[in-house]
Amino acid sequence: MDLGLKDRRALVTAASKGLGRACAEGLVAEGARVFISSRDPERTGREIGAAGWLASDLSSEDGPERTAGEAARVLGGLDIVIVNAGGPPPGTFQSTDLPAWEAGFQLTLMSAIRLVKATLPLLRQSEQGRIVFITSISVRQPIPNIVISNAMRAAVTGLAKTLSRELAPDRITVNCVAPDAILTDRIRHLAGGDEENVRRMAERTPMRRLGTPEEFAAACVFLCSRQAAYISGQTLGVDGGSTLGVH
Ligand SMILES: NC(=O)c1ccc[n+]([C@@H]2O[C@H](COP(=O)([O-])OP(=O)(O)OC[C@H]3O[C@@H](n4cnc5c(N)ncnc54)[C@H](OP(=O)(O)O)[C@@H]3O)[C@@H](O)[C@H]2O)c1
């Protein structure tokens, strides 16, 4: 299927590895011109054939705006934004102090708000704008011991749903893709760097395996496609069937 992504101009943030990188690679494979960012994106940018990259910290006040500006300068506009950031640290409510909440708020929610604010004027000029937020399956089923993520992803999902209505007249679709247990460094870190824990995590999934970043990226790339023009305001779980709810 031709996804109509050739020469489309895409920004993928937090894309030096893991899910962001896989999304950027997926878009490059479809012929899109892709700009990536992270705190250290250069090696990945070269490896995947990105059109450009910028080192920026998304949780800083000016990081998202600088990233959007440089992406637009290099690409000559923007059609697609995949909004991603690193995951906040794990912890229970009891073990999480207020500075950690503030840092998580900046990293997960404010970075998304700032990035959309900065890219919206550009997306409005696109014939078919796309915003995809990478969230977490915790929006359907909160995950024990990552309370900041559980709270902030719900906020991002509310933001996405609201935006989908506001931006529909501008032909911009807004969706979330919610991963669960896709094997990346984030999962290795949450497993305490212990391969045996990773194996046990895989055993607990319905498919008895973790997902691959490429399987996750395929969902994001489809939502960026021409064919997905009438899909907006949705959360698509890429979780190997792990959630128990019916919606
Ligand atoms: N993997 C899963 O199954 C899963 C499940 C639920 C939710 N998620 C969420 O999905 C997102 C991506 O996860 P992942 O598994 O791909 O994680 P990952 O492998 O740890 O990659 C994280 C990426 O974020 C970048 N990054 C981190 N902090 C940043 C910052 N302050 N500013 C800019 N870039 C930053 C990192 O690059 P630099 O170090 O170069 O900055 C890296 O490219 C995370 O928010 C994670 O919590 C993942």
Query: What pLDDT, in 10s, does the model give residues 202-240?
Result: 999 999 999 999 999 999 999 999 999 999 999 999 999
Per residue in 156-168, pLDDT (tens digit) is 999 999 999 999 9
Whether 9 is in the pocket of ligand 1, judged by its Cβ within 6 Å, is no
Q: Indicate which CATH number applies to the domain containing 96.
A: 3.40.50.720
Whether 130 is in the pocket of ligand 1, judged by its Cβ within 6 Å, is no
* Distance (Å) from CA 169 to ligand 1 centroid: 32
* Distance (Å) from CA 86 to ligand 1 centroid: 3
Q: Which of 58, 110, 186 is the pocket-test mutation for ligand 1 (most atoms within 8 Å of CB)?
A: 186
* Distance (Å) from CA 19 to ligand 1 centroid: 7
In a domain, 201, yes or no: no
Q: Which residues touch 208 (CB under 8 Å, ≥6 apart)?
A: 202
In a domain, 48, yes or no: yes
In a domain, 199, yes or no: no
Whether 61 is in the pocket of ligand 1, judged by its Cβ within 6 Å, is no
Range of the structural domain that residue 39 is part of:
9-182+212-229
* Distance (Å) from CA 105 to ligand 1 centroid: 15
Reported pTM: 0.98
| Residue 88 alpha carbon, nearest atom of ligand 1 | 47
Q: Assess whether pLDDT exceeds 90 at residue 245.
A: no
In a domain, 188, yes or no: no
In a domain, 236, yes or no: no
In a domain, 193, yes or no: no
> Which residue owns the Cα nearest ligand 1 atom 36?
14
> Which residue owns the Cα nearest ligand 1 atom 46?
87
Per residue in 51-92, pLDDT (tens digit) is 999 999 999 999 999 999 999 999 999 999 999 999 999 999
Burial environment of residue 214 by CB neighbours within 10 A (0 to 12, 13 to 18, 19 or more): middle
Domain count within the chain = 1
In a domain, 2, yes or no: no
**For position 246, what pLDDT does the model report?**
82
Whether 23 is in the pocket of ligand 1, judged by its Cβ within 6 Å, is no
Whether 239 is in the pocket of ligand 1, judged by its Cβ within 6 Å, is no
Per residue in 174-191, pLDDT (tens digit) is 999 999 999 999 999 999
* Distance (Å) from CA 209 to ligand 1 centroid: 20
In a domain, 196, yes or no: no
